[in-house]
Homo-oligomer: A and B are copies of this chain.
Amino acid sequence: MQKDDRPVILVTNDDGITAPGIRNLVEAVRDLGRVVVVAPDKPQSGMGHAITIGEPLRLEKVNEFDDIESWQCSGTPVDCVKLAKDKILHRKPDICLSGINHGPNHSINIIYSGTMSAAMEAAIEGIPSVGFSLYEFGFDADFTVSKHLAHTITKRMLEERLPEHTLLNVNIPKAKPDEFKGIKICRQAYAKWAEEFDERLDIEALKNGYASIVPIKIDFTDMAAKQMLEEKWKDLL
């Protein structure tokens, strides 16, 4: 048997293994490596970074994508990433892709997002990862622009590693190829409150027809507040 030395691309999502979004993601990147799909057997939206505790996880090999190895799992997207690494691949994949989510995951809403939690779980493990979300909810959404972007970004990520434990949150506008304006690197917006006007925010880019890429860090420490507390709370320390 010939050794397969292509990069291993783990694909997961939170809409479930039968969603059009994950099918389009697999098609977009299948020429870039050995794709392995491990995804929930049912929609898991709103599960945030939940993991399954106290009930057995079912993992079943399925034939959802013809010649692409694929597994469905009874757990959450985070469970899928853990199981893929520990029970299926027995190694870290070279990249983990999550999505393409049916609906956007911008601003602080990423905290509720199964799509982004899967990508964050991979980043915690030191696996380069990207979450893709399309600002269009229907299962008949047009994935042309999304597929193009998923291919471009994944290819670049495989060629050029980002700093460890940094992941990308990619949101794609609802746009036909000729309406698509391009990519902007953005800062996460706080959806529920006003921001400074000069910042380039994910939500603004998306509304204006651009895809937004927000790099996300797994260290949540507020360094400015840390310094402030060290001074102002000195009497407590």
Q: How many residues of A contact B (CB 8 A)?
A: 59
Of the candidate stretches A17-25, A31-39, A44-52, A171-179, the one touching chain B is: A44-52
Q: Is A236 an interface residue (CB 8 A)?
A: yes
CB nearest neighbor in B for A191: B124
Looking at A65-73, A95-103, A133-141, A223-231, the stretch in contact with chain B turns out to be: A223-231
State in angstroms the CA–CA spacing of A45 and B52 once bound together.
10
B residues near A216, Cβ cutoff 8 Å: 220-222
Q: Are B220 and A110 in contact (CB under 8 A)?
A: yes
- 8 Å CB contacts to B: which residues of A177-223? 182-188, 190, 192-193, 213-223
Residues of B within 8 A of A224 (CB): 163
CA distance A169 to B236 in the complex (A): 16
Q: Identify which of B47, B164, B219 contacts A48 (C-beta below 8 A).
A: B47
Query: A-side interface residues toward B, CB under 8 Å?
Result: 45-53, 78, 108, 110-112, 117, 120, 124-126, 152-153, 156, 160, 162-166, 182-188, 190, 192-193, 213-226, 228-230, 232-233, 236-237
